[in-house]
Structure 1
Amino acid sequence: MNMMVSRRALLGGLALGGSAALLPRAAFAFRESGAQLYPATHAFIKGFVDRRELAGTLAAIGKGQGTAEFFGAGVQSLSDPVPVGPDTLWRLYSMTKPVTGIAAMLLIEDGKMKLDQPIADFLPGFARMQVQNTPDGSITDLRPANTQITVRHLLTHTAGLGYNIIQKGPIKKAYDDAGIVGGSASRLPIPGMAPVTPAPSLAAMADRLAALPLIYEPGTQWSYSISLDLLGRVIEVAAGQPFDAFLKARLFDPLGMTSTSFQVGAKDVGRFTTNYAPYGGALIPFDPATSSIYLDPPPYPFGGGGLVSSARDYDRFLAMLLGEGATGGKRVMKVETARLAMSNLIDDSVNRKGTFIDGQGFGAGGRVSLPSSPGGAGIFGWAGAAGTIGFVHRGLGYRAAAYAQYMPSGALPFQEKFGETFFKDVMA
């Protein structure tokens, strides 16, 4: 979920001080080998803390199925300076999307749904969709959709759906009024963002979404959207169990991802990060760990942006992808299913100019690099609204992720430049 949060969020705040310098040397021992193996990456992520731009940063890099190297700098929260580490909890936001995508692929492997199956087979309300004649224009000037929305369309943001963090005009208001959101940011009001009451359940969200028009004809335009959240509802109908329960049973438990969920339990608050808004040289805490909105049960499990996880846990997920469905002696999906999930699932005819994937492809919830892409072919992954990023490079045999907690993610080049810096180390 690439939720845009005003950099003027809240008045006052804390300037980023030198809290990390006061921590005992032993607290940073986990970083040493990784810092030596990946010096450019270490210098890059540490620089944000040294320059007092971020409270804490962390990287996790693994080669093949080998043990990951975790290295970082700084603290989870400036108000409670616990050093970041492999088991620190981070808001993943849109790094949730590949997890949901892989869950759908498991049901395709099970034969409970097909890649090109209309979602109306599971959610009949989507059988006769209307499309705006002018994207983001009138929500009454409509025409019937020529194409049914399919599972493939939801996986790849080509269903023609919108996002209340992307759309403008009447369709955005309609999404807000219906509580169709992809995640939560804070209990506090955020200037520049209208308060929205989320739909009370995945089922209600899906029903309300089906009653609204599409922005684009399905299968024609790559449009970042609520589609992975809707896919969560399709998954629970096809699986016959709640979406979050399916994720736990088929992915989190088999992979040992014990720190990954849609809510932070009371016992885990001590390893949870604070989310900040960088503004005017200060870091303004708009979702403090000890009073975070993530301490409450979510209105529904946001398949597009709701997970909290640790670097150790998400590395297990990436290791499974790099292992084409298996890691640590545990296979969760067939090789062919994993390969399909990480392949380009959109046709060349799909317009993607000017989008987040201009010149690239898209698979099961994540961007797919092409031979002409920076870094070459074989990259699969995605990033999150609070500065996180995670991917596998199947060509080079690496998995990598970086973690920070700040919004908007474009306020600093942490997320944008991490991959480039990682490649410097790997190619060296």
Structure 2
Amino acid sequence: MSVHTLASPALSRRSLLRGSALFAGGAALSGLPFGRMAFAHDVAESWPALAALADKYVASRKLANLFLTFGWGASEDHPHTVGGGTLALGKPTTVDVDSLYRIYSMSKPITGMATMILIDEGKLGLDQPVHEILPAFRDMQVLIDPEGPLEDVVPATQPITIRMLLTHTSGLGYQIISKGPLQKAYNELGLVGGRVSRLPIPGIEPVTPAPGLAEWADRLATLPLMYQPATKWSYSCSIDLLGRVIEVASGMPFETFLKQRIFDPCGMTSTWMQVPASEAHRLTDNYGIVGGTPFPIDPAANSVFLDPPEVPAGGGGLVSSPKDYDRFLRMLLGYGRLDGRFIMSEEAVRVGTSNLLPASVDTSGSWVAGEGHGAGGRVSGSSFGWGGAAGTLGAVDFGLGLRSCLWTQYMPSEAYPIRDEFLAAMQSDLEAMRAKKMAA
């Protein structure tokens, strides 16, 4: 079935950069002399700048909702909230921690940690060549010009490794990043990384996805790389490919592995590639922003996420709730431990949230210049996390002992400066908390 995917000129490098910009702000505040704080569940009074930001966007009807969640330490068993709004403009149902959001690339840290579980168990190696798991990737070719003819290639000078897939340094392209003949080939072969809508959307090319993750991976192996492996940081479909690696290494379907090894043990009961029809009433509408005006591009009642995905995309395919994602972040903040049990080992979390970039990689001019990248997420100081194409953000700051998320639904994410404003407001509120604590 033909669906509208993320092949969109509107989803620019800038919008995706904004998706990962969160983590510099939190890291700059790491080590402040305050720890866990006892707040009421609604903590707007403690985060006044963030509360004002949420109110500004919701009250002006620029967005249906802007909902923020926070938690201190790994022992607090629920997130505190700021902001709100409704599931859709003009509808009365308010958002809460159980509302459902398309998290897009916030799926990447989840897939990254799934990979770390298998590395910890010895079923994968961090520096293992991918072709040992997926033989089709043994003899890769590399474009001389990333935007040039597909026939103008040279052999790869080294094999792609699991580390390179985790850190976007494999040289692979991406449907939403590649240009020229390579992007055309991605679309023609159905190498999708996420879904947007059933509706025709101006500027988004309809693409028929490959029939399943195994076929998706086989087709990907036939195309050249954009760059030589381990030479350049370039946002890529590598986390989607890890979904297939996980299938082969674990011996179970990718979605089954996520459910059995992460979602069920973490108590994440509202995270899926396909939203059950019985839960559609919790799903937000997703909006496109044109000229500052929102219009629905994926209404909940007819959402493409009610259908099973042709390709379960580990890099951008999940829907989740604020409560669920907070539990995932809480598990990371607890170094693998949640509610008294280990979901994954402390070492796997410590390695996965550390800088895993190969030493040979040039990050100059990239989104992570001067910073690092771990297992599917940006590493900046003591922070780890990532953002999604529909405006969501999620991170843990190990120095502050803070887990935080921003929840909203609109595309492209640079249509509003929310993410920059969020960073500034969060930093302002955290500094005010520090000053108050020191004055006490």
- Per the normalisation by structure 1, the TM-score is 0.90
**Structure 1 residue 405 corresponds to structure 2 residue 409:** yes
Aligned counterpart, 2:111: 100
Structure 1 segment 158-197 matched on structure 2, within 5 A: 158-197=169-208
- Equivalent pair of 1:90/1:405 in contact (CA under 8 Å): yes
1:378 alignment partner in structure 2? 382
Q: Does 1:283 align with 2:287?
A: no
Of 71, 77, 80, 1:62 maps to 71
Name 2:27's counterpart in structure 1: none
44-53 or 165-174, larger mean C-alpha shift:
44-53
CA distance in 2, matches of 1:109, 1:238: 12
Equivalent pairs counted in the alignment come to: 399
List per-residue Cα deviations over 1:321-371 (Å, max 9, x = no partner): 1111112212111111110000000134312222221221100000000xx
2:215 corresponds to which of 194, 204, 218 = 204
User: What's the RMSD between the two structures over aligned residues?
Assistant: 1.7
Structure 2: stretches of 5+ with no match in the other structure? 12-38, 433-440
Contact 2:61 2:89 in 1 (8 A): no
Q: Is the 8 A contact 1:45 1:58 kept in 2?
A: yes
1:172 maps to amino acid: Q
In structure 2, what is the equivalent of residue 24 of structure 1?
Answer: none
Q: How far does residue 4 in structure 1 lie from its aligned partner after superposition?
A: 4.4
Q: Do 1:255 and 1:317's aligned partners in 2 also have CA atoms closer than 8 Å?
A: yes
Deviations 1:275-325 (A, max 9, x none): 001223421101100001001001021100000000000000000111111
Matching residue within 48, 52, 75 for 1:43: 52
Partner residue in 1 for 2:93:
82
Q: CA deviation at 1:54?
A: 0.6
C-alpha separation in 2, matches of 1:327 and 1:423: 28
Contact 1:274-1:288 within 8 A present in 2 as well: yes
Distance (Å, rounded) in 2 between the aligned partners of 1:93 and 1:100: 12
Alignment of 1:24-423 (within 5 A): 33-65=42-74, 66=76, 67-369=78-380, 377-423=381-427
| Compared CA separation, residues 364 and 350, structure 1 to 2 (3 A) | same
What letter corresponds to residue 73 of structure 2 in structure 1? G
Q: Give the match's secondary structure for 2:355.
A: coil
Q: CA deviation at 1:269?
A: 0.9
SS at match of 2:93: strand
Q: Which has the higher mean CA deviation after the structures are superposed, 211-220 or 50-59?
A: 50-59
- AA paired with 1:413? P
Percentage of pairs with the same residue: 52
CA contact (8 A) 1:274 1:285 kept: yes
Q: C-alpha distance in 1, partners of 2:65/2:391?
A: 11
Larger relative CO (CA 8 A, sep 6+): 1 or 2?
A: 2
Deviation per CA, 1:356-401: give whole Å up to 9, x if none: 21221100000000xxxxxxx1010000000000000111110000
Q: Distance in 1 between matches of 2:322 and 2:330?
A: 12
Provide the C-alpha distance between the structure 2 equivalents of 1:303 and 1:421, rounded to a whole number of angstroms.
31
Q: Report the 3-state secondary structure (helix = DSSP H, G, I; strand = E; otherwise coil) of the residue aligned with 2:183.
A: helix
CA distance in 2, matches of 1:287, 1:330: 38
Do 2:336 and 2:345's aligned partners in 1 also have CA atoms closer than 8 Å? Answer: yes
The amino acid across from 1:142 in the alignment is V
SS in 2 for 1:82: coil
SS at match of 1:76: coil
Whether the aligned pair in 1 keeps the contact of 2:63 and 2:89 (CA below 8 Å) is no
CA spacing shift, 1:358–1:167, aligned 2, 3 Å: same
Q: Distance in 2 between matches of 1:104 and 1:382?
A: 16
Would the alpha carbon gap of residues 348 and 2 (structure 1) be closer, same or farther in structure 2, given more than 3 Å must change? farther
> Could you say if the C-alpha distance between residues 83 and 198 of structure 1 is closer, same or farther in structure 2, counting changes exceeding 3 Å?
same
Contact map agreement 2:101 2:284 (CA 8 A) in 1: yes
Structure 2 residue matching 1:73: 3-state secondary structure = strand
- TM-fit CA distance, 1:413: 1.6
What is the CA–CA distance in structure 2 between the aligned matches of 1:299 and 1:120, rounded to whole Å?
A: 24
Q: For 1:4 and 1:409, how far apart are their aligned partners in 2?
A: 13
- Match for residue 29 of structure 2? none
Equivalent position SS for 1:221: coil
- The residue that corresponds to 2:430 in the other structure is 426
1:156, 1:362 within 8 Å by CA — same for their partners in 2?
yes
Q: What CA distance in whole angstroms lies between the structure 1 residues aligned with 2:145 and 2:51? A: 47
More deviation, 167-176/344-353: 344-353
TM-score, L = length of structure 2:
0.88
Query: Which is further off, 183-192 or 121-130?
Result: 183-192
Q: 1:321 to 1:420 in 2, by over 3 A?
A: farther
Q: Is the 8 A contact 2:50 2:82 kept in 1?
A: no
CA separation of 1:60/1:163 partners in 2, compared to 1, >3 Å: closer, same or farther? same
Q: Is the 8 Å Cα contact of residues 4 and 407 (structure 1) preserved in structure 2?
A: no
